[in-house]
Copies of this chain bind each other. A is one copy, B any other.
Amino acid sequence: MSNSAKPARQLPGCFFLLLASCCQIMVPQSTDSLLHELRQIDHKIHRLSDIRATLEWDQETNLPSGGVDERSEQLALLGGMIHDLQTSPLLGTLVTSLAEMTLPTDEDRAMVRLHRREYDRASKLPKELVERQARLVGQSQPLWAQARKENNFAKFAPYLAQLVDLAREKAELIGYIDHPYDALLDEYEPGTTSAEVKAVFDGLEAGVADLVRKIAARPQVRNDFLTRNFPRDVQERVGRQVAGDLGFDWSAGRLDVTTHPFCTTLGPRDVRITTRYDESFFNMALYGIIHETGHALYEQGVDAKLGSTILAGGTSLGIHESQSRFWENFIGRSKPFVDRYLPVFQKAYPQSLGDVDATAFYRGVNKVEPSFIRVEADEVTYSLHIILRFRLEMALLEGSLKAEDVPQAWNALFTKLFGVTPPDDAQGCLQDVHWAMGGLGYFPTYTLGNLYAAQFFLVLKKDVPNWETLVRQGDFAPLLAWMRTNLHRHGRIYTAGELCKRVTGRSLDPQPFLEYLNTKYGAVYGL
C-alpha cells in the first residue's frame, strides 16, 4: 500500500483548525457571549428537530410503502446528530458555566435549565441506543398500522417486545429511585413520579366508579342520531369551519388525514393537525379535530421570539393535553357550544340531524358508556382507559407481563374496569400508536391533562364570567386570549408545576376535575 500514508500529509492544516476551535473556548467569556453561543447551538438543535418532525409527518401522511426502511435510516441519522449536539462537550461546558451565573431573564434561566436537563439525560444514553430506537420506531410504526388493519397482533408482538426491552434499557441508563417507569414518565411530565400517578389514579378510579354506578342506575340518553350518515367531504368542511372559529391560523398550519390523529410542529408558523373520518359516526372527526386544534392553538400561541428554540412548544404533555381537552370537552361538549353549532350541523346534515333538538344533542354527545376505543371515550370513563394502559405498562416494564400476552391481559383488565370485552385486538390493544412510537410512559399525561384543564377552567370562569354567552355567540377570541396570556405565550419558560401555581394559585389537584364531572353529569343524567 504505497499510497496509504498519504492522508497524514494533510494533517497539519486539519490539526491547526481543531486546536484553534478548542482555544476559542479557553478565552474567558462574558455571560452574554456564552448565552449567544448557547443560543446558536439551541437553534441548530431545534431546527434539526423541526426537520425531523417534517420527516415524521410525511411518514404518516404521504410516504410510499417502499420508502419506509430508508426513512428509518434518515430519522436515525437526524436523531444521532441531534443527540451529538445535545451531548457535545461544548454544550456541557456552556450549561455548566451558565448555571452558576446570574442570568438576566426568565427565558435565559429556562433555556439553561432545560438544556442542562436534556444534556444530563442525553449524556446517559449512548448514541448507538438513540439511533437504534429511531430505527426500531421507524420500522414499528408502519408494522403497527398494518397489524391494526389486519387485526393481527402477532405481527406487532415481536416489535413491542423489542420496544419494551429498549425502554427498560433506557430507564436503567437514565436511573430512577423507585420504579423504572419514573425514568420514562419524566421525559413527558418532568418531575412527576409513577407513585404520584398511582395515588392520583387510585383516587380517580374510586370517584369515577362511584359516578358510573350512579349513572348506570338512571335511564340511558339517546345518541342514535350520531351514527347516521355524515358524508366525508361535509365533515371535513364543518371541521375546518369549527377549527377556524376556535382560532386555528390556517396561514400557519394544515389539516390532513392519518390512521391515528396527531398535532405536530414543523416550525414556529407551521403547526399541522390530522384526523380520520367515519361516515357513520359524527363524533370521530369533529371532536378529533377540536382536540388537535386545542394542541395547535397552544403551539401557534407561543411567543414568536421563542420560535425554533428549546423554549418553543408546550411545557409538559400534561399541560398540552389540558389545552386539547379544554377545547374538546369543557367547551366543545358544553351546552352553549351545542346551542351555537347545532344549527350549523343541521344545515350540513339535514337528513341526519334535522329531527334533533339542542338538549337531546347535548345529552347525546355527553353519553356515558363503555367504549372500546380510548379516543372516542366519554369524559367520565376516559380515565379508566388510561389507568388500564398505565397498569399494563408498569407490568411490562417490571417483566411480569410479556409482550405476547398483552392481548389477554388487556382484555381481562378491560373487562374488569368496563364490564365488557373488546371483540378484537384492533379495538383492543392495537388501537393506539403510542407504543409503536416508543412512547411508554406517555399515557398518564392524558389524564393529568384533564385535571389541569379543570383547574384552569375554574379560574377562567372567574376571569371571563360571560364565557357561556360568548360561546353561544361563536366568539371564542376572549377565551383564546385568556389561554394565550396565561399559558400559551410562555412556551416552556415555566414548568408544569410553576405554571399551574401561577395561574391557579394551587398545585395539581384532582378534586376540581371530579367536581366538574359530578356537576355536569349530575345534570345530564338527573342524579
A residues with a Cβ closer than 8 A to B are 1, 3-11, 13-15, 17-18, 22, 25-26, 28-31, 34, 44, 47-48, 50-51, 54-55, 58, 62-67, 69-71, 73-74, 77-78, 89-90, 92-94, 96-97, 100-101, 249-254, 266-270, 307-308
Chain B residues whose C-beta falls within 8 Å of the C-beta of A253 in the assembled complex: 64, 66
Chain B residues whose C-beta falls within 8 Å of the C-beta of A17 in the assembled complex: 89
Q: Is the CB of A70 within 8 A of B270?
A: yes
Least CB separation from A33: chain B residue: B4
Q: Is the CB of B270 within 8 A of A308?
A: no
CA of A13 to CA of B88, assembled, Å: 12
Chain B residues whose C-beta falls within 8 Å of the C-beta of A74 in the assembled complex: 47, 50-51, 54, 267
Partner of A100, one of B3, B25, B29, B89: B3
CA of A100 to CA of B34, assembled, Å: 45
Partner of A269, one of B7, B10, B67: B67
Least CB separation from A17: chain B residue: B89
Q: Is the CB of B22 within 8 A of A266?
A: no
How far in angstroms is the closest Cβ of chain B from A238? 21
Given contacts A58-B58, A270-B63, contact A92 B10 (CB under 8 A): yes
Q: Is the CB of B26 within 8 A of A267?
A: no
Chain B residues whose C-beta falls within 8 Å of the C-beta of A69 in the assembled complex: 269
Provide 16 A-B residue pairs closer than 8 Å at the C-beta atoms, listed in order of the A residue: A1-B29, A3-B97, A3-B100, A4-B29, A4-B34, A6-B96, A6-B100, A7-B25, A10-B93, A11-B25, A15-B22, A47-B73, A58-B58, A64-B252, A66-B252, A67-B267
Least CB separation from A68: chain B residue: B269
Q: Is the CB of B77 within 8 A of A48?
A: yes
Given contacts A44-B77, A77-B47, A270-B71, contact A66 B7 (CB under 8 A): no
CA of A58 to CA of B100, assembled, Å: 43
CA of A50 to CA of B96, assembled, Å: 36
CA of A509 to CA of B159, assembled, Å: 56
Least CB separation from A256: chain B residue: B62
How far in angstroms is the closest Cβ of chain B from A245? 18
Q: Is the CB of A10 within 8 A of B252?
A: no
Which secondary structure dominates chain A's binding surface?
helix
Q: Is the CB of B22 within 8 A of A7?
A: no
Q: Is the CB of B8 within 8 A of A70?
A: no
Q: Which of A9, A11, A97 has the most CB of B within 10 A?
A: A97
Given contacts A10-B93, A55-B54, contact A64 B4 (CB under 8 A): no
Least CB separation from A4: chain B residue: B28
CA of A333 to CA of B371, assembled, Å: 58
Q: Is the CB of B1 within 8 A of A31?
A: yes
Q: Is the CB of B270 within 8 A of A10?
A: no
Q: Is the CB of B67 within 8 A of A266?
A: yes
Q: Which of A6, A8, A69, A90 has the most CB of B within 10 A?
A: A6
Chain B residues whose C-beta falls within 8 Å of the C-beta of A62 in the assembled complex: 254
Given contacts A66-B270, A67-B266, contact A93 B7 (CB under 8 A): yes
Q: Is the CB of A97 within 8 A of B6?
A: yes
Q: Is the CB of B30 within 8 A of A51?
A: no
CA of A440 to CA of B44, assembled, Å: 30
CA of A65 to CA of B249, assembled, Å: 11
CA of A2 to CA of B503, assembled, Å: 37
Q: Is the CB of B14 within 8 A of A22?
A: yes
Partner of A308, one of B25, B73, B269: B73
CA of A69 to CA of B7, assembled, Å: 41
Q: Which of A7, A58, A94, A307 has the most CB of B within 10 A?
A: A7
How far in angstroms is the closest Cβ of chain B from A50? 6
Q: Is the CB of B28 within 8 A of A5?
A: yes
